[in-house]
A and B are shown apart, each in its own frame.
Chain A
């Protein structure tokens, strides 16, 4: 069976710049990233692959949108103007208008950390943007 590390990362974009020495790839314009069941759309992303293997991705957009089903197969949608994703532990960090919608919750905050593998959400607020969580009735 394909382990997490084996999953290829597929990126399509309008433009790309690769700095081979620093191991940094910058993709811009209608960027789509697919890795396993995670699909992310952004205006611009930067992939950090120091040992030629992607370890971290930074995404910018208005907003960036990430979709990935939860362990039960229910849809999860995360949006924010800035996102960071670490490939090895599948942690998504959302900043700037951060929001996560799952089958049972709708959460917003200043900064949201989403462990996609464990399906655990951590939300931080600020004076300007308090934490809001709406617990939705469980679908029949």
Chain B
């Protein structure tokens, strides 16, 4: 019987006993096989890396991680890399995809890459936009041959080819440098 617009629609619920519900979930179509060469695949991953004192130095998370043992690499979709210092996130790097070489402490971010240094009492927020950026996760050095643009209150700096040591706040641009210092609030 149709209900009038004012009356709430009568709810419709079905109760499924626990075991049956699990069976339904288990029946969801699991991939029949992983891509060739993939030994391990994780959907929705968080990788936390600690130093010798057990403190988290960086976190790599993303949509999907595929591990290629023979190649010694992992492929990540929608990766997000966070650098931490004393428990605080100071840098966040994102890109559409990445290739991770755990043994070499190297993460190659593929495509348009964004790096954000979060604001702290000493430094304002800084944003770096580039592409195809290689990050050495233990030394926190960042490399690219592509154009990199750094934006921060009062400064815009761009150049082709970048090497940054984000731990020491040093950045080097290798060619075609354009910089504008402008008052932060004229």
Contacts and interface: CB of A to CB of B under 8 A. Distances in A.
Question: Bound pair: A and B?
Answer: yes
Given A15-B175, A52-B153, A8 B169 contact: no
Contact of A15 (B124, B154, B173): B173
Nearest to A9: B181
B124 to A, nearest CB: 7
Interface stretch (A19-27, A73-81, A106-114, A118-126): A19-27
Interface in A60-95: none
Contacts of A13: 177, 179
Interface in B142-186: 150, 152-155, 157, 159, 168-184, 186
A18 B123 contact: no
A25 B150 CA distance: 13
A47 B178 contact: no
Contacts of A127: none
Contacts of A14: 175-177
A130 interface: no
Contact of B170 (A6, A9, A19): A19
Residue among B159, B173, B177, B186 with the most chain A CB within 10 A? B177
Contacts of B181: 8-9, 11, 47, 49, 53-54
A26 to B, nearest CB: 9
Which label, helix, strand, loop or mixed, suits the secondary structure of the B interface?
strand
Given A6-B186, A16-B157, A21 B175 contact: no
A17 interface: yes
A18 B126 CA distance: 13
Contact of B182 (A8, A19, A20): A8
B60 to A, nearest CB: 25
A121 B179 CA distance: 30
A12 B177 contact: yes
A5 interface: yes
Given A9-B181, A54-B181, A18 B170 contact: yes
Nearest to B168: A21
A10 interface: yes
Contact of B171 (A6, A12, A18, A54): A18
Nearest to A18: B171
Contact of A17 (B126, B172, B176): B172
Nearest to B164: A18
A20 B177 CA distance: 17
A15 B180 contact: no
A19 B173 CA distance: 12
A10 B180 contact: yes
B172 A15 contact: yes
Given A16-B173, A18-B172, 7 more contacts: A5-B183, A6-B183, A12-B177, A17-B172, A27-B177, A49-B155, A53-B181
Interface of B: 123-124, 126, 150, 152-155, 157, 159, 168-184, 186
